[in-house]
């Protein structure tokens, strides 16, 4: 049973339990829970008051840009793959 919180464990001085030593576990759990609750509260406030959310048009524009860029990169990779495939078939054809 814990009798209080301390940054360092402390020996009890009662005559009945003079050799006992208090555990810090209850204190550490409380501090951890307080930190977690504070983190959630601060994150919520930041999302409400400090974050600038994009408009629907900005989201649509960004999404289209990402899709077009992905398509272009996929076509470039496919073209490189086709070129290397033909080069390797040509090289292997010389030795067979």
User: With 70 as the cut, is the pLDDT of residue 49 above it?
Assistant: yes
User: With 80 as the cut, is the pLDDT of residue 36 above it?
Assistant: yes
Q: What is the pLDDT of residues 64-81, one digit of tens each?
A: 999 999 999 999 999 999
Across all residues in the chain, what is the average pLDDT?
Answer: 82
Q: What is the pLDDT of residue 10?
A: 55
**Region 38-60: what's the mean pLDDT?**
93
Between residues 82 and 96, which one has the greater pLDDT?
Answer: 82
The domain ranges of the chain are 24-53, 54-96
CA–centroid distance for 88 within its chain: 43
Question: What is the model's pTM?
Answer: 0.49
Q: What is the pLDDT of residue 30?
A: 79
Q: What is the pLDDT of residue 85?
A: 96
């Amino acid at each position: 049973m814990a009798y209080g919180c301390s940054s360092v464990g402390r020996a009890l001085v009662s005559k009945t339990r003079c050799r006992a030593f208090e555990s810090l576990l209850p204190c550490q759990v409380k501090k951890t829970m307080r930190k977690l609750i504070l983190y959630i509260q601060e994150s919520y406030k930041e999302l409400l008051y400090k974050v600038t959310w994009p408009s629907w048009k900005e989201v649509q524009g960004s999404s289209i840009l990402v899709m077009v860029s992905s398509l272009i990169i996929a076509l470039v990779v496919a073209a490189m793959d086709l070129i290397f495939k033909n080069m390797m078939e040509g090289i292997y054809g010389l030795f067979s």
